[in-house]
């Protein structure tokens, strides 16, 4: 019996690896989970009322591309946030969570060959694993481009050989970055757009952490594309309610792009999509229309930034995140540090190497651990204090 080989050599996924590393040992205290980026703040209380009042919609097949109300709410958000006016009928499509869209966009938009060669899809390293799987699924070479301190924790795609860029069909970019919290500024987006024009590839902008930041909203890829007059079909932006509104279980996201790109994405989704149930679409529309809860949520994360800076600010190599809710903390050995932290304190974090792949013999995540500041403030403060005392006590000895 034959099976496909395209996924046969995948590295072990992060979560089974983490369980194998930690779960054979007793924790050193009550477990504090800082591994997965699952928000624990309250979502708007009225969300359940909207779902309940629209419950009759469970008796209907939902619109595949999103209801008119949801698409209008999405374009309203994009206009308020980025100053980009999009047509709800042609420029956006609802998703069942952004992971679905990040995977399927390669299917919908990446050609089978590029300049007569096997195509390449570029992505940051460390990276969100779905980028790699999407590339493999369309027969492209996934090329991980280091996003390190030397590059501002964002991938320097322009540094790649011309031969690679000439067969590149798309690049994935995450800004604010997971796990480092770095933000692509306007200059970065302008440079990437120029590179994409020169070598004719598409930009898949994963912006699901865009609403969690300190004081200055991160610029968006479509926003900068409009400013420089780029073809919006070259950029596909991905957004989600998971982080913005603490609704990971609602599974509501969207893509926004030019009309041709959205047409192609919808064409695939007509055959292979899993639309969001209509009552959940109605709830999502109400949530995209509301900014008050987003401002309140952001304020909670800003408090956690200040806590982390106060407790860890003197740790050698500590970089305070610009945005998002992860701490990307330097250590000598990421697996050893995660295990020590679990066995001595009960705090669970993710070794950075589990989010990256070797590049020229070096794993760019190896010297870091990722800690998600998703728990309530008091629990987060306690956990960060335990991290400092367990992993960095030598840095403060004698102070």
Instruction: Check: CB of residue 137 under 8 Å from CB of residue 104.
Output: no
Other beta carbons within 10 angstroms of residue 230's beta carbon come to: 21
Preceding amide of 179 cis, omega within 30:
yes
User: Residue 397 above 80 pLDDT?
Assistant: no
pLDDT at 396: 58
Query: Alpha-carbon distance 371 to 289, whole Å?
Result: 31
The domain limits of the chain are 14-42+293-396, 47-290
Burial class (CB in 10 A: 0-12, 13-18, 19+), 238: buried
Judged against a pLDDT cut of 50, whether residue 147 lies above it is answered with yes
Asked, as a colleague might, if the bond just before 126 is cis with ω within 30 of 0, I would say yes
CB 289 within 8 Å of CB 76: yes
User: What is the average per-residue pLDDT within 346-366?
Assistant: 94
What pLDDT does 395 receive? 64
Q: Which DSSP helix (H) or strand (E) runs through 197?
A: helix 186-199
Fold of 14-42+293-396: 3.90.1150
**pLDDT category, 81, cuts 50, 70, 90?**
very high
**Quick one: CATH architecture of 47-290?**
3-Layer(aba) Sandwich (3.40)
Instruction: Kindly report the pTM of this predicted structure.
Output: 0.96
Percent of the chain residues topping a pLDDT of 90: 93
pLDDT at 334 over 60: yes
Give the phi and the psi of residue 384 in degrees, each rounded to 5.
Answer: -65, -35
Instruction: Identify the pLDDT of residue 398.
Output: 45
């Amino acid at each position: 019996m034959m099976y496909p080989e395209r996924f046969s050599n995948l590295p072990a996924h992060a979560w089974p690896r983490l369980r194998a590393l930690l779960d054979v040992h007793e924790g050193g205290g009550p477990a504090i989970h800082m591994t997965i980026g699952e928000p624990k703040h309250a979502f708007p209380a009225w969300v359940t009322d909207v779902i309940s009042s629209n419950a009759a919609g469970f008796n209907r097949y939902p619109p595949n591309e999103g209801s008119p109300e949801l698409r209008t709410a999405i374009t309203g958000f994009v206009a308020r946030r980025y100053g980009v006016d999009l047509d709800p009928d042609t420029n956006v499509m609802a998703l069942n969570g952004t992971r679905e869209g990040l995977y399927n966009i390669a299917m919908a938009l990446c050609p089978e060959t590029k300049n007569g060669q096997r195509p390449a899809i570029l992505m940051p390293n460390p990276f969100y694993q779905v980028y790699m799987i999407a590339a493999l699924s369309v027969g492209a070479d996934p090329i991980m481009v280091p996003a390190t301190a030397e590059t501002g924790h964002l991938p320097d795609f322009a540094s790649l050989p011309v031969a690679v860029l000439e067969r590149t069909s798309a690049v994935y970019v995450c800004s604010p970055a997971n796990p480092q919290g770095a933000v692509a500024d306007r200059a970065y987006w302008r440079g990437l757009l120029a590179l994409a024009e020169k070598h004719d590839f598409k930009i898949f902008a994963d912006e699901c952490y865009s609403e969690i930041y300190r004081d200055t909203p991160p610029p968006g890829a479509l926003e900068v594309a409009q400013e420089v007059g780029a073809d919006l079909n070259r950029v596909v932006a991905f957004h989600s309610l998971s982080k913005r509104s603490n609704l990971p279980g609602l599974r509501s996201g969207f893509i926004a792009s030019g009309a041709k790109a959205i047409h192609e994405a919808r064409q695939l989704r007509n055959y292979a999509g899993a639309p969001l149930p209509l009552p959940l679409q109605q709830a999502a529309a109400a949530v995209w229309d509301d900014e008050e809860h987003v401002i309140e949520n952001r304020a909670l994360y800003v408090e956690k930034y200040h806590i982390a800076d106060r407790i860890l600010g003197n740790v050698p190599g500590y970089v305070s995140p610009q945005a998002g809710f992860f701490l990307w903390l330097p250590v000598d050995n990421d697996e050893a540090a995660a295990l020590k932290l679990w066995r001595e304190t009960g705090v669970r974090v993710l070794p950075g190497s589990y989010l990256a792949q070797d590049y020229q013999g070096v794993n760019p995540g190896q010297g870091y651990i990722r800690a998600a500041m998703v728990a309530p403030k008091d629990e987060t403060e306690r956990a960060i204090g335990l991290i400092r005392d367990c992993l960095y006590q030598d840095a403060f000895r004698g102070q």
